[in-house]
Structure 1
């Protein structure tokens, strides 16, 4: 079998590491433009996979103190995320309702909390992505020959080769400024206006923190082509700049082109949820669930909304659906146990918490589960058992503030009982 056919077959079947090794062997024997091109593509795809490059939009980039695009400290009401959102969770003032705060999933099992959304969407920077790609075992050579050098501008392969070169420099080498130079040169040589280059320049400007240039490039790309990636990156840029009204406007524009498209609907729901419009966010999450019945985030948020609006029976149905359609985890079983507790299904409450403890490996999650078990014990009137559960919770995670406050309250109650008894 010819080595060229083996390389092409490995590339098509996504066996990237074997493909790269075989390309190294082939290029040592002779210089082949096709093999160099496949090698660049394989290295780029490998870097994307290792560094999570396919989901690279940073919704909440780290703000530098010296950045000129910092948001105002006193924004107008309803135009910023930086305020206390009045959600169903913090409207509950009683201790018992606070005690039922469910364990948040870092994998997105119940992403109603704003912080869990941020950690789920936040990805590594470009430089760290290139570093992790190299750590993954990709054979990286800084002075690798580039196919674009051997192509004339009249060649039909010039444009795809320039795109491959841009992604190679952007993802593998992690050199954003060099990638911008490639994009500028390709734009000068390309007679037809291609939206992809404006979109790629926007990615580079976004990585450098030049948000105004990013917006200009994305708007120019939108004039050339109404592509879903452009809308999503515009939304992410406005959310990162703390401009939710502009982000919602982009969502509406995108939905006018892509009717009831799930990614745009879920972005709109997230923004409304963070702005404190819980009812409107749940309405949009329901639309997402109708379009995509297996969407974990939408179902979890609907369940959370129903639970904190004193409808545990409805929330139980949604959590049972999550349990049936997604991998099991401690968060789902913990929330199922709390729903069963408020539905007075005592025969299922403790088994659900037992399964939650079985699947939990994170100390923080285990501590929260024991805290909820203390609430179950208080519901049955067993103060001693609740006291022991809180002690176990603090033994696992001593920084659990809810367990600390609850233990202090139980200590005060037990002392009051002893003083009254004497």
Structure 2
């Protein structure tokens, strides 16, 4: 049986590891085999592929840092429970307080609301990833795991040296560019180079290919 056909069969059955192994053997004999190269990029991407439609899941940080909160105290004169009641002294509606119990004055001194070191609040406020300055969320943690998985899949080094790629050449070939984009975006987690490839491919398609417009949106969202 033709090894490339067998690799395609494994890929269709989502046996990505077996497909990658066969493609690697083919590329060892002929490094310029474009079919095996493209299939290996698709198989490596399939191992860590995440549907970008499902990125709106809420983690612990999103729930705790949610700004859409209904006020607990009604503003003076707007409450339907006690219409026209006179309040003695400053009300909580006039002077809302912080989590520490201090009334808000409109000014925040440096470090007063940063939280004590070692608390859950401080851990959420502190960014932990090298790819983004956002606090640790379910999304940013997932992106880091994808990058780690790409390192483990190729112990002898990266399959594609992205720094040496000529994106303009690949952008003019949509049959190779789309698989390469998904490999860079999902497997290597290199959003900047993926964005560059998507921008060149969109220009090469004369802005008529919707697939590249979605790819640009994914990069901007990330």
TM over 0.5: yes
Confirm whether residue 58 of structure 1 aligns to residue 56 of structure 2: yes
Q: Secondary structure at the match of 2:14?
A: coil
Question: Residues 239-250 of structure 1: matches in 2 within 5 Å?
Answer: none
Question: Residues 26-175 of structure 1: matches in 2 within 5 Å?
Answer: 26-31=26-31, 32-48=33-49, 52-53=50-51, 56-60=54-58, 81-83=68-70, 122-125=138-141, 127-134=143-150, 138-139=153-154, 141-142=157-158, 144=160, 153=172, 158-175=173-190
Please say if residues 4 and 22 of structure 2, whose CA atoms lie closer than 8 Å, have aligned partners that are also in contact.
Answer: no
Unaligned ranges ≥5, structure 1: 64-69, 72-79, 86-120, 208-422
Give, in angstroms, the shift of residue 184 of structure 1: 0.6
| Number of positions where the alignment pairs a residue of Structure 1 with one of Structure 2 | 150
Which residue in the other structure is 2:214 paired with? Answer: 199
The TM-score normalised by the length of structure 1 is 0.31
Find the aligned partners of 2:141 and 2:196 in 1 and give their Cα distance.
20
Q: 1:183 aligns with which of 182, 198, 208?
A: 198
RMSD across aligned positions (CA): 3.5
Find the aligned partners of 2:36 and 2:181 in 1 and give their Cα distance.
18
Find the aligned partners of 1:54 and 1:200 in 2 and give their Cα distance.
10
Which residue in the other structure is 1:92 paired with? Answer: none
Find the aligned partners of 1:37 and 1:202 in 2 and give their Cα distance.
23
Give, in angstroms, the shift of residue 203 of structure 1: 1.8
Task: Give a deviation string over 1:220-240, Cα, whole Å, max 9, x none.
Answer: xxxxxxxxxxxxxxxxxxxxx
Find the aligned partners of 1:152 and 1:142 in 2 and give their Cα distance.
21
Find the aligned partners of 2:206 and 2:68 in 1 and give their Cα distance.
43
Find the aligned partners of 1:9 and 1:138 in 2 and give their Cα distance.
21
Task: Give a deviation string over 1:84-124, Cα, whole Å, max 9, x none.
Answer: 69xxxxxxxxxxxxxxxxxxxxxxxxxxxxxxxxxxx9445
The TM-score normalised by the length of structure 2 is 0.55
Give, in angstroms, the shift of residue 9 of structure 1: 1.4
Give, in angstroms, the shift of residue 142 of structure 1: 2.2
Please say if residues 130 and 172 of structure 1, whose CA atoms lie closer than 8 Å, have aligned partners that are also in contact.
Answer: yes
Find the aligned partners of 1:151 and 1:174 in 2 and give their Cα distance.
19
Please say if residues 183 and 200 of structure 1, whose CA atoms lie closer than 8 Å, have aligned partners that are also in contact.
Answer: yes
Q: Quickly say closer, same or farther: Cα 1:3–1:134, change in 2 above 3 A.
A: same
Please say if residues 169 and 175 of structure 1, whose CA atoms lie closer than 8 Å, have aligned partners that are also in contact.
Answer: yes
Which residue in the other structure is 1:6 paired with? Answer: 6
Give, in angstroms, the shift of residue 10 of structure 1: 1.2
Give, in angstroms, the shift of residue 59 of structure 1: 4.7
Q: Secondary structure at the match of 1:187?
A: helix
Q: Quickly say closer, same or farther: Cα 1:123–1:188, change in 2 above 3 A.
A: same
Give, in angstroms, the shift of residue 139 of structure 1: 3.2
Find the aligned partners of 2:145 and 2:53 in 1 and give their Cα distance.
12
Please say if residues 169 and 176 of structure 1, whose CA atoms lie closer than 8 Å, have aligned partners that are also in contact.
Answer: yes
Give, in angstroms, the shift of residue 82 of structure 1: 2.3
Higher helix share: 1
Task: Give a deviation string over 1:184-222, Cα, whole Å, max 9, x none.
Answer: 110111125222222222222222xxxxxxxxxxxxxxx
Task: Give a deviation string over 1:130-183, Cα, whole Å, max 9, x none.
Answer: 235337x53364252779787683xxxx22321211111111111111110011
Give, in angstroms, the shift of residue 22 of structure 1: 1.2
Q: Quickly say closer, same or farther: Cα 1:126–1:198, change in 2 above 3 A.
A: farther
Please say if residues 55 and 123 of structure 1, whose CA atoms lie closer than 8 Å, have aligned partners that are also in contact.
Answer: no
Higher RCO (CA < 8 A, seq sep 6+): 2
Q: Quickly say closer, same or farther: Cα 1:134–1:59, change in 2 above 3 A.
A: same
Unaligned ranges ≥5, structure 2: 73-136
Q: Quickly say closer, same or farther: Cα 1:59–1:81, change in 2 above 3 A.
A: farther
Find the aligned partners of 2:177 and 2:171 in 1 and give their Cα distance.
11
